[in-house]
Every structure is written in structure tokens, then in C-alpha cells.
Amino acid sequence: MDRAEIIDLLIVIKENYPNFDVSEENIDRHFKYLHDFPFDRAVQNVDEHIRTSKFPPNIAEIRGSLGEQMERSRMRSATEEYFAEREEARKHACPPPPGWKEGIYAKLGRA
């Protein structure tokens, strides 16, 4: 979502909740947390919120469950990438040279 879409979204909220803050600081705050979120989904979430609540939506309510789904998807991808890296490292791993463990134990005085 770009800044203009954030402003459009906040105008919709302001029209339905007259006390809602549409200051530059609040626009910046919303942009910080909504820049990666699809505008059409945010509008749907705000419309649904307007139908069901007498209080203005916060950022988490604007993101709705899709935000959680997107975060889970991002974390799943990061986990799969991590395990792929570990698998690649396992393919190239080799045991320590003969006598290495005994040498360490000798240095530690545990021989």
C-alpha cells in the first residue's frame, strides 16, 4: 500500500468515526505498519469493522487475519530456507581428522 492509499483508507475511517486522528504523524504510523499490506484487503477489513464496531479500527484490525496469514507464510518460507541451508551444510560436512578429539582432551587434561 502506498501513502496515497493509506490516506484514502484513513479518510474512510474518519468519515465513519469523526474523532479519528488523521494527523501526519498518524498517517506516518499507519504507513509504517501497512505499507506491505494489500489496499483492497484493508478496505474490506475496514468496511467489515465499520459494520460491527462503534470504535475506530486499530492497525491490527485493519490488517485482520490476512496479516497473520501473510506473517505465517513468511515465517514458513524462512524456516524452509533455513532447513535447506542446513541440508546443504550436511552434504558438505565431514568428520574431524583422526586424533583431533584426543588432542583436544589432552589439552584439557582429560586424557
User: For 82-94, how does the pLDDT look when each residue is reduced to its tens digit (9 = 90+)?
Assistant: 999 999 999 999 8
User: For 15-59, how does the pLDDT look when each residue is reduced to its tens digit (9 = 90+)?
Assistant: 999 999 999 999 999 999 999 999 999 999 999 899 999 999 999
Question: Between the CA of residue 106 and those of 43, 51, 70, 95, 98, what are the distances in Å?
Answer: 68, 74, 53, 19, 14
Query: Looking at the predicted structure, is the pLDDT value of residue 67 above 70?
Result: no
pLDDT at 35: 94
CA-nearest of 110, 93, 41, 91 to 70 is: 41
pLDDT at 21: 94
Average pLDDT, the chain: 91
Phi and psi at 35, nearest 5°, equal -60, -25
